[in-house]
Amino acid sequence: MAAMGLASVASAEQTEARANDQLAVIRSQGAVLHFDGRIAPESVGKVRAFLDADHALTELAIRSGGGDVEAGMALGRMIHDRRMDVRVVGDICMSSCANYVFPAGRHKVVESGALVIWHGSMLQKNLREGFDYSGIEKQLGRPLNWLERWSMRRTANRWFRRVSVEQVAFYGKIGVDPAITVLGQEQGCACNWTVPVADMAKFGIGSVSADTDYAAPGYARWDGEWQLITRIDEAPTATRQ
């Protein structure tokens, strides 16, 4: 991300699964491409190499706490363009995985005990407020001066505008309402959340197979905090900057 990304985005990414800190492990087995770990430009490049080399791959089996926004969209576009299925394995598909990879699949399967978890996106209100320079200052070992702060904020704002346009095009391409990515914030839930499979369809995320007790008490393998949002009469209008 430009200027180490927007601080609010970085802050959100801190909630991703701890297992996501590691580099992704990617391997193929028959018609399935297995992906376990962080979504990053490097890991998406490896996926592209696998897919270009083997056109018999028809399913992505993924476990990921998320990662880079642009890399997530790039992976989602590959999945959509190749009409691949997506299977959530292990415990979690969160953040960029939930926002961009899971909804891009032709058919989606959530294995027993696994969760699809959202916690926000580029559509969040006031996303650019409260820019936090502490991480950068820690790396430099000194405070930033006013010119450095101004320059970094300008660079981050340019990145935000460009990626926001890219995200609008992405959701238009796959036919999904991006309001699903800010549903928690719109309902006043400062949380990680999932929704019932039937409610996923209200946002255009169809062809989803999961256990009948998906997200019920005692269902999940993931040990992080999350909530099931069920108060969805109809898909709300996405909040836009």
Q: Tens place of pLDDT for every residue, the chain, 241 residues?
A: 444 334 334 333 433 434 445 689 999 999 999 999 999 999 999 999 999 999 999 999 999 999 999 999 999 999 999 999 999 999 999 999 999 999 999 999 999 999 999 998 878 776 666 667 788 888 889 998 999 888 888 888 898 889 999 999 999 999 999 999 999 988 888 899 999 999 999 999 999 999 999 999 999 999 999 999 987 755 444 332 2
The confidence score (pLDDT) of residue 22 equals 66
Query: Could you state, in order of their start, the residue ranges of all structural domains in the chain?
Result: 13-122+177-228
Q: Looking up tokens 């492990």, which residue turns up?
A: 25
Which phi-psi region, left, alpha or beta, contains residue 204 (left: φ > 0; alpha: ψ -120 to 50)? left
| Letter string b/e over residues 217-241, b meaning 16 or more CB atoms within 10 A of that residue's CB | eebbebebebebbeebeeebebbee
Q: Which two tokens stand for residue 151?
A: 């320059």
Can you tell me the distance from the alpha carbon of 241 to that of 111, in angstroms, rounded to the nearest whole number? 35
- What pTM was computed for the model? 0.83
Looking at beta carbons, which pairs linking 42-48 to residues 24 or more positions away fall under 8 Å? 43/67, 43/71, 44/71, 44/74, 44/75, 44/78, 47/75, 47/78, 48/78
DSSP string for residues in 74-100: HHHHHHHHTT-EEEEEEEEEETHIIII
Can you tell me the distance from the alpha carbon of 170 to that of 133, in angstroms, rounded to the nearest whole number? 30
- Helix 41-53 / helix 69-81 crossing angle, nearest 10 deg: 20
The confidence score (pLDDT) of residue 128 equals 62
The confidence score (pLDDT) of residue 225 equals 95
Q: How far is CA 32 from the centre of its chain?
A: 21
**Architecture of domain 13-122+177-228 in this structure:** Alpha-Beta Complex (3.90)
- For 88, phi then psi, to 5°, come to -90, 120
The confidence score (pLDDT) of residue 233 equals 59
